[in-house]
């Protein structure tokens, strides 16, 4: 059996909030990374590293509790083959 992975409740709450607000988040942050904590975008920017550092500076909370998500253009289509 593999090792059990535990995901912080704050992280899952953030993902759920992003999912339920994805339309407005895509409009405002398209093409950028966002960090969400307590149902709020706490940092955003062009690189994941800068967003992670800013989120840590603002919240003092480790990245394991804050989802970092890239807001792609919702009209992009990807294909393999």
Sketch the domain layout of the chain as residue ranges. Answer: 9-71
33 to 26, 50, 60: CA distances (angstroms):
10, 9, 19
Which SS3 state, helix, strand or coil, does residue 4 take?
coil
Rg of the Cα trace of the chain? 14
pTM, two decimals, is 0.84
pLDDT at 10: 93
Identify the weakest region by mean pLDDT among 42-46, 67-71, 72-76.
72-76
Classify 29 as helix, strand or coil: helix
Of the two residues 77 and 26, the one the predictor is more confident about is: 26
Q: What is the mean pLDDT of residues 20-35?
A: 94
More confident residue, 10 or 80: 10
Stretch 10-25: mean pLDDT:
94
d(CA 21, CA 40) in angstroms, rounded, equals 10
Residue 10 and residue 61 in contact, taking contact as beta carbons nearer than 8 Å: yes
């Amino acid at each position: 059996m593999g090792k059990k992975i535990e995901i912080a409740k704050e992280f899952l709450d953030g993902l759920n909030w992003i999912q339920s607000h994805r339309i407005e988040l895509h409009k405002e942050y398209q093409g950028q990374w966002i960090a969400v904590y307590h149902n709020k975008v706490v940092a955003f920017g062009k690189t994941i590293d800068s967003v992670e550092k800013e989120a840590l500076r603002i919240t003092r909370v480790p990245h394991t509790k804050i989802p970092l998500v890239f807001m792609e253009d919702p009209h992009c289509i990807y294909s393999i083959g």
